[in-house]
Structure 1
Amino acid sequence: MTDNPLLPGADQPGEQGTSPYEPDELAGRDGVGVPDPFMRLWTPHRMAYIEGENKPTSTDAGSGCPFCRIPGLSDADGLIAARAESAYAVLNLYPYNPGHLMVVPYRHVADYTELTQAEVADVAKLTQQAMQTVRTVSAAHGFNIGMNQGEIAGAGIAAHLHQHVVPRWGGDTNFMPVVAQTKVLPQLLSDTRALLAKSWPTD
Protein backbone atom coordinates (compact mmCIF):
# COMPACT_ATOMS: atom_id res chain seq x y z
CA MET A 1 0.00 0.00 0.00
CA THR A 2 1.30 3.46 -0.88
CA ASP A 3 1.82 6.19 1.73
CA ASN A 4 1.23 8.90 -0.88
CA PRO A 5 -1.90 10.91 0.10
CA LEU A 6 -2.38 11.99 -3.53
CA LEU A 7 -2.42 8.46 -4.94
CA PRO A 8 -4.86 5.60 -4.33
CA GLY A 9 -3.70 2.75 -2.13
CA ALA A 10 -3.30 -0.71 -3.58
CA ASP A 11 -6.04 -2.05 -1.37
CA GLN A 12 -8.80 0.37 -2.39
CA PRO A 13 -12.23 -1.23 -2.96
CA GLY A 14 -12.86 -2.36 -6.49
CA GLU A 15 -9.22 -2.39 -7.61
CA GLN A 16 -9.23 -6.15 -8.11
CA GLY A 17 -11.61 -5.80 -11.07
CA THR A 18 -14.79 -6.54 -9.16
CA SER A 19 -17.73 -4.18 -9.05
CA PRO A 20 -18.43 -2.52 -5.67
CA TYR A 21 -22.14 -2.87 -6.45
CA GLU A 22 -24.30 -5.95 -6.41
CA PRO A 23 -26.34 -6.55 -9.60
CA ASP A 24 -29.58 -5.79 -7.70
CA GLU A 25 -28.24 -2.35 -6.68
CA LEU A 26 -27.51 -1.43 -10.29
CA ALA A 27 -30.71 -2.92 -11.64
CA GLY A 28 -32.87 -0.13 -10.19
CA ARG A 29 -30.76 2.75 -11.51
CA ASP A 30 -31.64 4.49 -14.74
CA GLY A 31 -28.91 5.17 -17.24
CA VAL A 32 -26.29 2.75 -15.95
CA GLY A 33 -26.88 0.00 -18.49
CA VAL A 34 -27.45 -3.67 -17.96
CA PRO A 35 -25.44 -5.07 -15.00
CA ASP A 36 -22.47 -7.22 -16.02
CA PRO A 37 -19.14 -8.30 -14.47
CA PHE A 38 -17.30 -5.17 -15.59
CA MET A 39 -16.68 -2.21 -13.31
CA ARG A 40 -16.91 1.20 -15.02
CA LEU A 41 -15.41 4.42 -13.79
CA TRP A 42 -17.70 7.27 -14.80
CA THR A 43 -16.00 10.67 -15.18
CA PRO A 44 -18.74 13.01 -16.47
CA HIS A 45 -16.90 16.07 -15.10
CA ARG A 46 -14.36 15.62 -17.92
CA MET A 47 -17.03 16.58 -20.44
CA ALA A 48 -16.61 20.21 -19.37
CA TYR A 49 -13.00 20.05 -20.57
CA ILE A 50 -13.88 18.19 -23.76
CA GLU A 51 -16.53 20.77 -24.68
CA GLY A 52 -14.24 23.70 -23.82
CA GLU A 53 -16.30 25.02 -20.90
CA ASN A 54 -14.84 28.23 -19.40
CA LYS A 55 -12.28 28.49 -22.21
CA PRO A 56 -11.81 32.15 -23.19
CA THR A 57 -13.42 33.19 -26.45
CA SER A 58 -11.04 36.12 -26.81
CA THR A 59 -7.35 36.77 -26.23
CA ASP A 60 -8.01 39.91 -24.18
CA ALA A 61 -7.12 40.35 -20.53
CA GLY A 62 -9.84 40.75 -17.93
CA SER A 63 -12.68 38.70 -16.47
CA GLY A 64 -12.97 36.62 -19.65
CA CYS A 65 -9.53 35.12 -18.98
CA PRO A 66 -9.58 32.60 -16.12
CA PHE A 67 -5.94 33.30 -15.25
CA CYS A 68 -6.74 37.00 -14.87
CA ARG A 69 -9.89 36.24 -12.86
CA ILE A 70 -8.50 33.65 -10.42
CA PRO A 71 -6.22 36.01 -8.41
CA GLY A 72 -9.29 38.06 -7.46
CA LEU A 73 -10.83 35.05 -5.73
CA SER A 74 -9.94 33.68 -2.32
CA ASP A 75 -7.20 31.06 -2.34
CA ALA A 76 -9.73 28.32 -1.57
CA ASP A 77 -12.21 29.40 -4.26
CA GLY A 78 -9.48 29.94 -6.86
CA LEU A 79 -7.59 26.74 -5.91
CA ILE A 80 -4.47 28.86 -5.38
CA ALA A 81 -1.72 27.05 -3.49
CA ALA A 82 0.65 30.03 -3.16
CA ARG A 83 1.12 33.63 -4.25
CA ALA A 84 4.26 35.63 -4.99
CA GLU A 85 4.59 39.30 -5.89
CA SER A 86 4.15 38.85 -9.65
CA ALA A 87 2.95 35.25 -10.08
CA TYR A 88 0.91 32.54 -8.37
CA ALA A 89 0.62 28.75 -8.25
CA VAL A 90 -2.80 27.22 -8.90
CA LEU A 91 -4.16 23.70 -9.30
CA ASN A 92 -5.14 22.58 -12.77
CA LEU A 93 -8.91 21.97 -13.02
CA TYR A 94 -8.25 19.08 -15.41
CA PRO A 95 -5.11 17.48 -13.92
CA TYR A 96 -2.96 14.93 -15.70
CA ASN A 97 -1.86 13.62 -12.29
CA PRO A 98 -2.76 14.37 -8.66
CA GLY A 99 -1.11 17.61 -7.53
CA HIS A 100 -0.81 19.01 -11.08
CA LEU A 101 -0.07 22.73 -10.61
CA MET A 102 0.34 25.69 -12.92
CA VAL A 103 2.56 28.70 -12.23
CA VAL A 104 1.02 31.82 -13.74
CA PRO A 105 2.12 35.47 -13.92
CA TYR A 106 -0.57 37.94 -12.84
CA ARG A 107 0.12 40.02 -15.93
CA HIS A 108 -1.73 38.93 -19.07
CA VAL A 109 1.12 38.04 -21.43
CA ALA A 110 1.28 35.21 -23.95
CA ASP A 111 4.97 34.65 -24.58
CA TYR A 112 7.80 33.76 -22.22
CA THR A 113 10.00 36.42 -23.82
CA GLU A 114 7.50 39.08 -22.70
CA LEU A 115 8.08 38.43 -18.98
CA THR A 116 10.08 40.91 -16.92
CA GLN A 117 13.07 39.70 -14.93
CA ALA A 118 11.00 39.94 -11.74
CA GLU A 119 8.26 37.78 -13.28
CA VAL A 120 10.80 35.22 -14.51
CA ALA A 121 12.26 35.08 -10.99
CA ASP A 122 8.84 34.55 -9.38
CA VAL A 123 7.81 31.89 -11.90
CA ALA A 124 11.10 30.06 -11.25
CA LYS A 125 10.81 30.38 -7.47
CA LEU A 126 7.22 29.13 -7.39
CA THR A 127 8.17 26.23 -9.65
CA GLN A 128 10.95 25.19 -7.27
CA GLN A 129 8.61 25.55 -4.28
CA ALA A 130 5.92 23.51 -6.05
CA MET A 131 8.39 20.67 -6.58
CA GLN A 132 9.56 20.82 -2.96
CA THR A 133 6.00 20.84 -1.65
CA VAL A 134 4.72 17.96 -3.77
CA ARG A 135 7.79 15.91 -2.85
CA THR A 136 7.12 16.63 0.83
CA VAL A 137 3.44 15.69 0.82
CA SER A 138 3.43 12.84 -1.69
CA ALA A 139 7.01 11.70 -2.42
CA ALA A 140 6.84 12.40 -6.17
CA HIS A 141 9.46 10.42 -8.11
CA GLY A 142 9.83 13.08 -10.80
CA PHE A 143 8.15 15.95 -12.64
CA ASN A 144 7.19 17.11 -16.10
CA ILE A 145 7.68 20.88 -16.20
CA GLY A 146 7.01 23.09 -19.18
CA MET A 147 5.06 25.67 -21.13
CA ASN A 148 3.07 25.20 -24.31
CA GLN A 149 3.67 28.40 -26.24
CA GLY A 150 0.85 29.11 -28.71
CA GLU A 151 -2.21 27.10 -29.72
CA ILE A 152 -0.20 25.18 -32.33
CA ALA A 153 2.01 23.91 -29.48
CA GLY A 154 -0.97 22.73 -27.47
CA ALA A 155 -1.65 25.68 -25.15
CA GLY A 156 -5.25 25.48 -23.95
CA ILE A 157 -5.24 29.17 -23.01
CA ALA A 158 -2.52 30.57 -25.25
CA ALA A 159 -3.11 34.25 -24.46
CA HIS A 160 -2.04 33.99 -20.81
CA LEU A 161 1.25 32.23 -20.20
CA HIS A 162 1.27 29.38 -17.66
CA GLN A 163 3.86 26.79 -16.71
CA HIS A 164 2.76 23.25 -15.85
CA VAL A 165 4.27 21.35 -12.93
CA VAL A 166 3.10 17.74 -13.22
CA PRO A 167 4.18 15.25 -10.53
CA ARG A 168 5.14 11.76 -11.72
CA TRP A 169 5.33 8.41 -9.95
CA GLY A 170 6.52 5.01 -11.12
CA GLY A 171 3.54 3.22 -12.64
CA ASP A 172 1.36 6.32 -13.03
CA THR A 173 1.12 5.59 -16.75
CA ASN A 174 -0.70 2.28 -16.66
CA PHE A 175 -3.61 0.61 -18.42
CA MET A 176 -6.14 3.17 -17.14
CA PRO A 177 -4.92 6.17 -19.22
CA VAL A 178 -3.39 4.08 -22.00
CA VAL A 179 -6.28 1.71 -22.66
CA ALA A 180 -9.25 3.27 -20.90
CA GLN A 181 -8.27 6.94 -21.49
CA THR A 182 -9.12 7.57 -17.83
CA LYS A 183 -7.12 9.05 -14.97
CA VAL A 184 -7.90 7.97 -11.42
CA LEU A 185 -7.78 10.98 -9.09
CA PRO A 186 -8.41 9.92 -5.48
CA GLN A 187 -8.63 13.35 -3.88
CA LEU A 188 -10.86 16.40 -4.39
CA LEU A 189 -9.04 19.45 -5.78
CA SER A 190 -10.05 21.51 -2.73
CA ASP A 191 -8.44 18.95 -0.42
CA THR A 192 -5.30 18.80 -2.56
CA ARG A 193 -5.05 22.62 -2.51
CA ALA A 194 -5.36 22.71 1.29
CA LEU A 195 -2.70 20.00 1.65
CA LEU A 196 -0.23 21.79 -0.64
CA ALA A 197 -0.90 25.26 0.81
CA LYS A 198 -0.30 23.98 4.34
CA SER A 199 3.11 22.57 3.39
CA TRP A 200 4.20 25.36 1.01
CA PRO A 201 7.58 26.95 1.94
CA THR A 202 7.24 30.40 3.50
CA ASP A 203 10.63 31.76 2.40
Structure 2
Amino acid sequence: MAEQHDHEHAHEDEGTGPRRVVGEEPDLTRGTARPITVVGNPVLHREVRTVTAFDGELSALIDDMFQSMYAAEGVGLAANQIGVDLKVFVYDCPDDEGVRHIGHVVNPVLEELPAGRRALDDGQEGCLSVPTAYQELARPDYAAVTGQDKDGNPVRVEGTGFFARCLQHETDHLYGYLYIDRLSKRDRKDALRQMADGTPKYATVPNG
Protein backbone atom coordinates (compact mmCIF):
# COMPACT_ATOMS: atom_id res chain seq x y z
CA MET A 1 0.00 0.00 0.00
CA ALA A 2 1.15 3.51 -0.71
CA GLU A 3 1.97 5.90 2.10
CA GLN A 4 -0.64 8.32 3.39
CA HIS A 5 -1.46 10.90 0.73
CA ASP A 6 -1.64 13.79 3.21
CA HIS A 7 1.72 13.11 4.85
CA GLU A 8 5.21 13.59 3.50
CA HIS A 9 6.07 9.99 4.27
CA ALA A 10 4.96 7.06 6.39
CA HIS A 11 7.30 7.87 9.27
CA GLU A 12 6.21 11.41 9.94
CA ASP A 13 6.56 13.23 13.24
CA GLU A 14 10.28 12.54 13.54
CA GLY A 15 11.71 14.91 16.09
CA THR A 16 8.71 14.66 18.40
CA GLY A 17 10.33 11.87 20.39
CA PRO A 18 10.47 8.11 19.94
CA ARG A 19 7.28 6.43 18.85
CA ARG A 20 6.07 3.09 20.07
CA VAL A 21 6.95 0.26 17.70
CA VAL A 22 5.03 -3.02 17.52
CA GLY A 23 7.10 -5.69 15.82
CA GLU A 24 10.73 -6.05 14.86
CA GLU A 25 12.52 -3.99 12.24
CA PRO A 26 13.86 -6.15 9.38
CA ASP A 27 17.57 -6.68 8.84
CA LEU A 28 18.22 -4.41 5.87
CA THR A 29 21.60 -6.03 5.22
CA ARG A 30 19.58 -8.85 3.66
CA GLY A 31 17.39 -8.87 0.58
CA THR A 32 17.23 -7.05 -2.73
CA ALA A 33 14.61 -4.60 -3.96
CA ARG A 34 12.61 -5.81 -6.95
CA PRO A 35 10.48 -3.80 -9.42
CA ILE A 36 6.76 -3.46 -8.70
CA THR A 37 4.10 -5.11 -10.86
CA VAL A 38 1.30 -2.76 -11.89
CA VAL A 39 -2.41 -3.06 -12.62
CA GLY A 40 -2.97 -5.20 -15.69
CA ASN A 41 -0.35 -7.80 -14.77
CA PRO A 42 -2.21 -11.15 -14.48
CA VAL A 43 -0.59 -12.05 -11.13
CA LEU A 44 -2.43 -9.12 -9.52
CA HIS A 45 -5.86 -10.20 -10.73
CA ARG A 46 -6.17 -13.75 -9.42
CA GLU A 47 -5.96 -15.48 -6.06
CA VAL A 48 -2.39 -16.59 -5.48
CA ARG A 49 -1.11 -19.86 -4.03
CA THR A 50 -1.11 -20.85 -0.37
CA VAL A 51 2.37 -21.07 1.14
CA THR A 52 3.20 -24.65 2.11
CA ALA A 53 7.01 -24.51 2.46
CA PHE A 54 8.33 -22.53 5.42
CA ASP A 55 11.98 -22.52 4.48
CA GLY A 56 14.92 -20.36 3.56
CA GLU A 57 13.37 -19.40 0.24
CA LEU A 58 10.36 -17.93 2.03
CA SER A 59 12.58 -16.01 4.44
CA ALA A 60 14.61 -14.66 1.51
CA LEU A 61 11.40 -13.61 -0.26
CA ILE A 62 10.26 -11.70 2.82
CA ASP A 63 13.65 -9.94 2.96
CA ASP A 64 13.24 -8.93 -0.70
CA MET A 65 9.69 -7.75 -0.03
CA PHE A 66 10.78 -5.42 2.76
CA GLN A 67 13.55 -4.01 0.56
CA SER A 68 11.08 -3.54 -2.31
CA MET A 69 8.51 -1.85 -0.08
CA TYR A 70 11.06 0.58 1.35
CA ALA A 71 12.51 1.34 -2.10
CA ALA A 72 9.01 2.29 -3.27
CA GLU A 73 8.31 4.23 -0.04
CA GLY A 74 5.28 2.08 0.70
CA VAL A 75 3.75 0.96 3.99
CA GLY A 76 2.68 -2.51 2.86
CA LEU A 77 3.50 -4.94 0.06
CA ALA A 78 2.02 -8.25 -1.09
CA ALA A 79 4.14 -10.91 -2.80
CA ASN A 80 2.28 -10.67 -6.10
CA GLN A 81 3.26 -7.00 -6.25
CA ILE A 82 6.76 -8.22 -7.05
CA GLY A 83 5.43 -10.97 -9.29
CA VAL A 84 5.49 -13.85 -6.79
CA ASP A 85 2.45 -16.13 -6.76
CA LEU A 86 2.33 -16.74 -2.98
CA LYS A 87 0.15 -15.59 -0.08
CA VAL A 88 2.41 -13.38 2.01
CA PHE A 89 2.56 -9.68 2.76
CA VAL A 90 4.85 -7.36 4.71
CA TYR A 91 4.10 -4.06 6.39
CA ASP A 92 5.71 -1.11 8.15
CA CYS A 93 2.71 1.07 8.78
CA PRO A 94 1.56 3.66 11.33
CA ASP A 95 -1.87 3.63 12.89
CA ASP A 96 -3.87 6.75 13.67
CA GLU A 97 -2.28 7.01 17.13
CA GLY A 98 1.23 7.13 15.70
CA VAL A 99 2.17 3.58 16.68
CA ARG A 100 4.43 1.99 14.07
CA HIS A 101 3.54 -1.60 13.18
CA ILE A 102 6.15 -3.81 11.46
CA GLY A 103 5.87 -7.43 10.38
CA HIS A 104 4.70 -10.00 7.88
CA VAL A 105 1.80 -12.43 7.55
CA VAL A 106 1.80 -15.67 5.56
CA ASN A 107 -1.51 -17.11 4.31
CA PRO A 108 -3.54 -14.23 5.78
CA VAL A 109 -7.28 -14.44 6.35
CA LEU A 110 -9.36 -11.45 7.43
CA GLU A 111 -11.53 -12.19 10.44
CA GLU A 112 -15.22 -11.44 10.18
CA LEU A 113 -15.90 -8.17 11.97
CA PRO A 114 -17.73 -8.36 15.30
CA ALA A 115 -21.04 -6.55 15.36
CA GLY A 116 -19.66 -3.71 17.45
CA ARG A 117 -16.65 -3.03 15.19
CA ARG A 118 -18.29 -2.28 11.84
CA ALA A 119 -17.83 1.49 11.64
CA LEU A 120 -16.51 2.70 8.30
CA ASP A 121 -13.58 5.04 7.83
CA ASP A 122 -13.52 7.24 4.72
CA GLY A 123 -9.95 7.87 3.72
CA GLN A 124 -7.59 8.37 0.82
CA GLU A 125 -6.05 5.14 -0.39
CA GLY A 126 -3.21 4.47 -2.79
CA CYS A 127 -1.40 1.41 -4.08
CA LEU A 128 2.14 0.83 -5.28
CA SER A 129 0.65 -1.18 -8.15
CA VAL A 130 -1.45 1.81 -9.23
CA PRO A 131 1.35 4.37 -8.96
CA THR A 132 0.67 8.08 -8.39
CA ALA A 133 -3.10 7.55 -7.97
CA TYR A 134 -5.21 8.10 -4.85
CA GLN A 135 -8.95 7.79 -4.28
CA GLU A 136 -11.33 8.01 -1.35
CA LEU A 137 -12.45 4.56 -0.21
CA ALA A 138 -14.56 3.59 2.80
CA ARG A 139 -13.24 0.61 4.75
CA PRO A 140 -13.92 -0.74 8.25
CA ASP A 141 -11.85 1.17 10.81
CA TYR A 142 -10.83 -2.08 12.52
CA ALA A 143 -9.33 -5.24 11.03
CA ALA A 144 -7.83 -8.47 12.32
CA VAL A 145 -5.86 -10.94 10.23
CA THR A 146 -4.86 -14.48 11.15
CA GLY A 147 -2.14 -16.45 9.43
CA GLN A 148 1.38 -17.69 10.00
CA ASP A 149 4.88 -16.29 10.32
CA LYS A 150 7.84 -17.32 8.16
CA ASP A 151 8.45 -20.34 10.41
CA GLY A 152 4.86 -21.56 10.21
CA ASN A 153 3.82 -20.39 13.68
CA PRO A 154 0.28 -19.01 14.02
CA VAL A 155 -0.04 -15.22 14.20
CA ARG A 156 -2.86 -12.75 14.63
CA VAL A 157 -2.47 -9.07 13.78
CA GLU A 158 -5.11 -6.43 14.47
CA GLY A 159 -5.24 -2.71 13.91
CA THR A 160 -7.36 0.40 13.68
CA GLY A 161 -7.49 3.38 11.38
CA PHE A 162 -4.81 3.57 8.70
CA PHE A 163 -3.19 0.31 9.83
CA ALA A 164 -6.55 -1.48 9.57
CA ARG A 165 -6.80 -0.12 6.03
CA CYS A 166 -3.35 -1.53 5.28
CA LEU A 167 -4.21 -5.01 6.59
CA GLN A 168 -7.34 -5.12 4.43
CA HIS A 169 -5.56 -3.70 1.38
CA GLU A 170 -2.71 -6.23 1.48
CA THR A 171 -4.95 -9.23 2.16
CA ASP A 172 -7.13 -8.16 -0.77
CA HIS A 173 -4.09 -8.30 -3.05
CA LEU A 174 -3.52 -11.97 -2.33
CA TYR A 175 -7.07 -12.82 -3.35
CA GLY A 176 -6.82 -10.93 -6.63
CA TYR A 177 -8.34 -7.57 -5.66
CA LEU A 178 -6.83 -4.12 -5.97
CA TYR A 179 -8.35 -1.19 -4.12
CA ILE A 180 -9.56 0.26 -7.42
CA ASP A 181 -11.77 -2.83 -7.83
CA ARG A 182 -13.78 -1.54 -4.85
CA LEU A 183 -14.33 1.92 -6.37
CA SER A 184 -17.21 3.19 -8.47
CA LYS A 185 -16.62 3.03 -12.22
CA ARG A 186 -16.10 6.78 -12.26
CA ASP A 187 -13.52 6.78 -9.45
CA ARG A 188 -11.73 3.75 -10.91
CA LYS A 189 -11.45 5.53 -14.25
CA ASP A 190 -10.09 8.61 -12.51
CA ALA A 191 -7.50 6.54 -10.63
CA LEU A 192 -6.29 4.97 -13.87
CA ARG A 193 -6.12 8.45 -15.43
CA GLN A 194 -3.98 9.66 -12.52
CA MET A 195 -1.71 6.66 -13.04
CA ALA A 196 -1.42 7.33 -16.78
CA ASP A 197 -0.60 10.99 -16.16
CA GLY A 198 1.91 10.36 -13.38
CA THR A 199 5.47 9.10 -13.21
CA PRO A 200 6.30 6.59 -10.45
CA LYS A 201 9.38 7.25 -8.32
CA TYR A 202 10.29 3.56 -8.25
CA ALA A 203 10.99 0.76 -10.72
CA THR A 204 7.97 -1.01 -12.20
CA VAL A 205 7.48 -4.04 -14.45
CA PRO A 206 6.09 -3.03 -17.87
CA ASN A 207 2.90 -4.84 -18.88
CA GLY A 208 2.81 -6.66 -22.20
- In the superposition, the TM-score normalised over structure 1's length comes to 0.28
Which has the larger share of helix?
1
Which of these two proteins has the greater Rg computed from alpha carbons? Answer: 1
The one of the two structures with greater contact order (alpha-carbon pairs below 8 A, sep at least 6) is 2
Which has the larger share of strand?
2
- In the superposition, the TM-score normalised over structure 2's length comes to 0.28
